Amino acid sequence: MHFSNIGTIHSYSLFGESQHLPDVLHCETIAERSALHDWELAPHRHTRLHQVLLITSGGGVAHLDGERIALFAGALINVPQGHVHAFRFTQHTQGWVATLADELMDEIFVRVGDVRRDLARPAVAPAPPQLHQAMGQVWQEFSGRAKARALVLRGLSATLLGWVARAMEDHSPDDTHAPESSLVQRLEALIEAHFLEHWQVADYARALAVSPTHLSRVARAATGVSAQRLIEARLMREARRNLAYTHLGVATIAYTLGYADPAYFTRAFTRDAGLSPRAFRAQVAASAPAPAM
């Protein structure tokens, strides 16, 4: 397969299969999916997911936003949401892929904002021993059904991302990040601070001292979606979190998110998720793992 000959870059919300993530993360072996596709994964991007790959043996080639990078045993691959990526692994390559929901990334960025820039950069870097250990623990916990599994996975996810951020910082070039990349990062930080106030694109553009048109163009180039979609997506992530992890009524959630009309919130959520808030809540409840005995 020649990646340059592929005309369509597919966007996936969740592992190319479904839209919503009942767990805080998903973890699988590299071979589990790659072997089904002759060890080649065509160019695609994830709109709501951050991926971390660790190669323990084997290698191959990665294409990250059009840049060709050799893969090697011990390589860490950081793939933020929205970035186009493709892989060609050598046969029988071993390792893991951890896929983290954007809801989890939001929580981490709120608490530890200084890792945002490092985690937002797609790159391949040598993985420190601690990252190997953290990924192994994630895999072991994800594969089981022990008591407090979700709580442990949440903690391990933060640990894993912390080591990824350190590896990205150590591997970072000395020059400053591209201005457009910095603009998107500042936009995302502002969205995190003001999404409940229902700021519009013009409000964010004013705060960033750029035009709305320029802001949307840069956002689309960096993430694959418009600035307006980034704003809407953050609200919808908060809605999904409330529906999945609280017992608040739909109307209460709507008011909490700044919607004056619960019916409008229901329509907006249904348009985004493809099912109503109540149906989404039922789906998450049905997919939750049974508690350990």
Could you tell me the domains of the chain? 9-171 (2.60.120.280), 179-287 (1.10.10.60)
- pLDDT reading at 262 higher than 70: yes
Cβ burial 146-184 (10 Å sphere, 16+ → b, else e): eeebeebbbebbbbbbbbbbbbbeeeeeeeeeeeebebb
Q: pLDDT band at 83, cuts 50/70/90?
A: confident
Report the mean per-residue pLDDT for the chain.
Answer: 84
To the nearest 10°, report the CA torsion of 225, 231, 236, 239.
160
Task: Compute the distance between CA of residue 230 and CA of residue 243 in angstroms, rounded to an integer.
Answer: 20
pLDDT at 279: 92
Q: Smallest Cα–Cα separation from 149: which of 243, 24, 256?
A: 24
pLDDT at 249: 93
Handedness of CA 152, 129, 105, 112 (dihedral sign): positive
Q: 3-state class of 108 per DSSP?
A: helix
Q: Measured at the alpha carbon of residue 141, what is the angle toward residues 138 and 145, in degrees to the nearest 5? A: 155
Q: Smallest Cα–Cα separation from 102: which of 247, 263, 251, 225?
A: 225
Q: Give percent of the chain with pLDDT exceeding 70.
A: 85
User: Does the global pTM surpass 0.75?
Assistant: no
pLDDT per position as a tens digit, 111-157: 766 687 788 888 999 999 999 999 999 999 999 988 888 889 989 99
